[in-house]
Amino acid sequence: MSESESRIRRTVTVSEAAEELGVSRTTMYEAVRTGEIPSKRLGRHIIIPRSAIDDFQGGPTSPGASGNYEPPAPTLADREAAWERAHATQAQALTEYLEAAGRAQALLHSYLAACHQESEAYRALLRRSRR
């Protein structure tokens, strides 16, 4: 479709919108699904108002406005803090796991000791009955 034809039409298809914005159809369908690009369903077809594409292309990019705002890249301090939080969480999880494993080991030792005592008592009973 030529540029003059698309300006005449008030709506575009998902494929046409994707091509115009320079993204894949999958990305455009995701934007439609999440509501980032307003659309209407007409039977099995999804149509996108031309104004939605125009607004998206020239829309506001400030944090409080709708549009395609991207937050600033994280700083080194942000990345280090995130790493520290993740490391602390993993260390805590490992500590809890080892504590639980220690409790399980103690329970197993208790159980085996009780089984051994019961076995010894049973053997003593058998020895007495054979006499």
Coil, helix or strand for 47? strand
Would you say the C-alpha torsion 45, 46, 50, 51 has a positive or negative sign? positive
Same domain assignment for residues 81 and 54: no
Pair 60, 66: CB distance under 8 Å: yes
Tell me the average pLDDT across 118-129: 87
Q: Is residue 68 part of a domain?
A: no
State the Rg of the chain over Cα.
Answer: 34
pLDDT digits (tens, 9 = 90+) for 8-59: 688 899 999 999 888 999 999 998 998 889 999 888 889 999 888 888 877 5
pLDDT at residue 76, rounded to an integer: 87
Q: Is residue 85 part of a domain?
A: yes
**Domains of the chain: total:** 2
pLDDT at residue 29, rounded to an integer: 92
Same domain assignment for residues 89 and 42: no
Q: 17: domain range?
A: 3-58
Instruction: Report residue 123 CA to chain centroid gap.
Output: 59
If we measure between CA atoms, which residue out of 70, 36, 71, 74 comes closest to residue 53? Answer: 36
Strands (E), the chain: 11-13, 40-42, 45-49
Cβ count near 6 (within 10 Å): 16
pLDDT digits (tens, 9 = 90+) for 58-82: 754 334 444 555 667 778 888 888 8
d(CA 13, CA 25): 10
